[in-house]
Amino acid sequence: MPTPTILVVDDDKLIRWSVSVVLGHAGYRVQEAATGKEGLAAVLEHRPDLVLLDIALPDLDGLSILEMLRKLRPDLPVLMMTADATNETARQAARLGARGQLDKPFDPTLLQVTVSEALKPAAPPDQPNG
């Protein structure tokens, strides 16, 4: 099985770096994008296996990007990242097809577990999980 590629889209360089280090040590290939536009271009060019997407980006809203990703690659798993978690944001992200949400700052072990779970194939929508 090829090494999964994870795209980290966040305007905070330190977040991108720390996620890259943690996931790189866990055996993943990590690519980075600092803006929503860069992230969308990277999805088209590099076809990652998972996207970690910040909700608050300087150029495009993360939820809007998630909607675009659903149209471009409906089966691409996306985890949202946010420093300002609200129940409404989490509900919106789930409604738009996000596999989950990571609240910043996050624990490295939780990051690895969440990424591993998100990379597992999703259950078909008409069948119960289990």
Supply the pTM of this predicted model.
0.89
Q: Which helix (H) or strand (E) holds 8?
A: strand 5-9
Residues of the chain with pLDDT under 70: 1, 85, 123-130
**SS3 call for 112:** helix
Contacts of 101 (CB under 8 A, 6+ apart): 79, 80, 81, 82, 85, 89, 90, 93
Strand ranges across the sheet with 100-103: 29-33, 5-9, 50-54, 78-82, 100-103
Encode pLDDT of 57-67 as tens digits: 999 999 999 99
* DSSP conformational letter for 34: S
5-118 belongs to CATH 3.40.50.2300? yes
- Domain coordinates in residue numbering, the chain: 5-118
